[in-house]
Amino acid sequence: MLISLSLGVIYRYVLNSPLIWAEEIAIFSLVWLTFIGGSMGIKRQETASVSILIDKLTGRLRQVLFGIGVLFLIVFLIYIIVLSVQWLSSPNIKVQHSNALGMPMLYAYLSVPVGFLFMTIHSIELFFKSFQQQEGDVC
């Protein structure tokens, strides 16, 4: 993304010959980075959350409530994966191409199910780790 944008700026403002594909590559890179980064946020437990209730609890009840929250997250992620696979399987997706590169848009759209699949994997790991911790600790 950095290389694409840098080349785009250099070619446009220094060489006076803009690259028509530079912005498109940067956008597709940003989309992939967003979904892969979201899965890393779940893995490192750096995502935004409202934990007012969990912070006030201790012991086994805290672990169970945390596990239930992660379980809801897993169900939601699987639901999004199913919807995105159905969406990518539709006939109109197969004929879409990007404007500048002529690349099939399927490659850009695949970032959704792949990113959510990684989020699901990391959430499942977090679910099992939440019950392996000592009593009172939640990941």
* Domain presence at residue 46: yes
* Domain presence at residue 12: no
* Domain presence at residue 21: no
Buried-exposed string 23-46: b where 16+ CB fall within 10 A, e elsewhere: bbbbebbebbeebeebbeebbeee
Q: Which residues of the chain have pLDDT under 50?
A: 136
Angle at 55 between CA 49 and CA 58, to 5 degrees: 135
If one counts the domains in the chain, the total is 1
* Domain presence at residue 2: no
- pLDDT for the residue 10: 92
- What's the predicted TM-score (pTM) here? 0.81
Task: State the residue range of the domain holding 59.
Answer: 28-132
- pLDDT for the residue 20: 87
- pLDDT for the residue 40: 93
* Domain presence at residue 59: yes
